[in-house]
Structure 1
Amino acid sequence: MFDMKNLGRLKKLDEHAPDVMKAFWAFDKAAFAEGALSAREKQLIAVAVALTTQCPYCIELHNKAAREAGASDAQLSEAAMVAAAIRAGGAVTHATHLFAG
């Protein structure tokens, strides 16, 4: 199912939902623009989120963008471990629901 070529089909969304997609692309561009966080920091966050959502498209796209923004293997590795800790933490904290209060 996963094939980067599928992203070419985004044009269909642009075509059939132009107002919404224009708003989405503008939002996406604004979200990743330099600000209080650098472009590299934002891409490292995106990589971590992509790993937690397990979206292969996002992982590939944001890994590439993070590297282009100067992210190192060490930074990407730490972002991945933060993502792993958040996933594990969610399981641990939700485990509290297993016990009667």
Structure 2
Amino acid sequence: MTTHYHSPEDLDRLSEYKELAGPEFQAFAKFDGSIGREGGAIDPLHRELIAVGVAISSQCPYCVQVHVTKAKKAGATKAQIAEASLVAAALGAGAAVTHGTMAFRIFDEADEA
């Protein structure tokens, strides 16, 4: 048994998806690969900065590594990575606050049940 949940070696197991769910994995890989595409309304640098923010918000260590590296290759600065990180943090905090208002409503409705 491992002593931690995230291990870079886990990525070596991606090929299992090809064996177990080939068509679905192929569709995912194509969709995921569209992040850095050229010619869209959002250029590759900004696509990667968005991906960095989402990776941080979803707390995917593999995604953080991949997209920070790709963002840097696309020309991102460390300051842009910092800002993308804090935009993600602010949205995460905002989501927690607005879910708190939902908790207030559920609390008030619990008396009615």
The corresponding residue for 2:54 is 49
RCO greater where, 1 or 2, for CA within 8 Å and sep 6 or more?
Answer: 1
In percent, how many aligned pairs have the same letter?
A: 43
- Backbone CA RMSD of aligned residues: 1.6
Q: Displacement, 1:29?
A: 1.8
Superposition pairs of residues 15-54 of structure 1, within 5 angstroms: 15-34=19-38, 35-54=40-59
Q: Displacement, 1:60?
A: 1.0
Letter in 1 for 2:33: K
Output one character per residue of 1:57-84: Cα deviation in whole Å (capped at 9) or x when no partner. Answer: 1111111111111110010000011001
Question: Which runs of 5 or more structure 1 residues have no equivalent in the other structure?
Answer: none
Q: TM-score, normalised by structure 1?
A: 0.89
Superposition pairs of residues 1-101 of structure 1, within 5 angstroms: 1-34=5-38, 35-97=40-102, 98-99=104-105, 100=108
Q: TM-score, normalised by structure 2?
A: 0.81
Question: Which runs of 5 or more structure 2 residues have no equivalent in the other structure?
Answer: none
Distance across 2 between alignment mates of 1:63 and 1:31: 13
The secondary structure found in structure 1 opposite 2:41 is coil
Distance across 2 between alignment mates of 1:21 and 1:8: 15
The secondary structure found in structure 2 opposite 1:24 is helix
2:35 and 2:44 in contact (8 A); partners too: no
